[in-house]
């Protein structure tokens, strides 16, 4: 004997789709807004670091009587190095958040000084090589 099979039909009621939620912000996302960001104080410390690095480049150019052909380059390369370091911190690239959490906005000054000083050393080596080749 054959028995009929039970067929389940969908109900005629349909649920309207719910709109998707946007990106989570605030307490729901797990991120605390304003934490690990440089902000205005970090910007001021970074600008102070750039002034220190640029001033060191300028003082060295004046003290060593570097020719005008490379004078601007010797002043601006440490500033560019400092800006690269500040951007690394401001863009929150890897390990930047640990620096920000350890030192706060003062980390902008420290990173600008370190990267600007390394560019300054590179510039001085290059400049001395340039001057010895010209003699």
Q: In terms of pLDDT, which residue wins out, 82 or 14?
A: 82
Tens digit of pLDDT for each residue in 100-131?
888 888 889 999 999 999 999 999 999 889 88
Q: What is the mean pLDDT of the chain?
A: 84
pLDDT of residue 66: 86
Predicted model pTM:
0.69
pLDDT of residue 23: 62
CA distances from 69 to 11, 18, 53, 61, 108 (A): 84, 67, 21, 12, 32
Q: In terms of pLDDT, which residue wins out, 73 or 33?
A: 73
Query: Per-domain residue ranges for the chain?
Result: 36-134
């Amino acid at each position: 004997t054959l028995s009929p099979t039970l067929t389940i039909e969908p109900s005629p009621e349909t649920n309207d789709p719910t709109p998707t939620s946007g990106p989570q912000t605030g307490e729901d996302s797990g991120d605390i807004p304003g934490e690990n960001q440089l902000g205005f104080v970090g910007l001021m410390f970074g600008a102070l670091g750039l002034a220190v690095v640029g001033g060191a480049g300028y003082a060295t150019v004046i003290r060593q009587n570097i020719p005008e052909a490379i004078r601007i380059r010797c002043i601006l390369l440490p500033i560019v190095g400092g800006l690269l370091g500040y951007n690394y911190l401001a863009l929150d690239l890897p390990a930047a958040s640990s620096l920000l959490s350890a030192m706060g906005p003062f980390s902008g000054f420290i990173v600008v000084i370190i990267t600007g000083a390394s560019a300054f050393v590179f510039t001085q080596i290059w400049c001395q090589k340039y001057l010895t080749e010209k003699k």
